[in-house]
Amino acid sequence: QVQLVESGGGVVQPLMSLRLSCAASGFAFNSYAFYWVRQAPGKGLEWVGLISFDGINQYFSASVKGRFTMSRDDSSNTVYLHMNRLSPDDTGIYYCARAPPRDGYNTLDSWGQGTLVSVSS
């Protein structure tokens, strides 16, 4: 069955870097775009970024643009979120989600359970 498993979260100091991983299984990985969505403690959902099905294009929210990048490894069915210059505002649960071709790869039809990132000194 479709599975997305995030890992790599933890406690990190401000201005440090962290890499999150999203291991996918149970479907044709290279047919999907992937998103990262986060939820700060007690807050709502916030789209963070996306990487296209072919890895050529990436887009990010204004709050992380220039600090975060994404990559994908189709040989291991893994998507990565590379987070740099982290701030306490980046604290939250980070979800990985896949987007099928319908609707231009914009709807998230399967999600992981999330990994917690805490940025604190």
Residues that bind another protein (CB under 8 A): 4, 37, 44-47, 59, 61-62, 95, 97, 102-104, 106-114
How near is the Cβ of 33 to another protein at its closest, in Å?
12
Kindly tell me which of 44 and 66 has the beta carbon lying closer to another protein: 44
How near is the Cβ of 44 to another protein at its closest, in Å?
5
Q: Which of 120, 90, 99, 114 is nearest to 8 (CA)?
A: 114
How near is the Cβ of 60 to another protein at its closest, in Å?
10
Kindly tell me which of 12 and 48 has the beta carbon lying closer to another protein: 48
Secondary structure string (H, E, C) spanning 54-108: CCCCEEECCCCCCCEEEEEECCCCEEEEEECCCCHHHCEEEEEEEECCHHHCCCC
How near is the Cβ of 87 to another protein at its closest, in Å?
20
Torsion angles phi and psi, residue 31, rounded to 5? -95, 0
Kindly tell me which of 76 and 106 has the beta carbon lying closer to another protein: 106
Kindly tell me which of 75 and 103 has the beta carbon lying closer to another protein: 103
Using the structure block, give the residue that is written with the tokens 């992380």: 64
- CA–CA separation, 11 and 14 (whole Å): 10
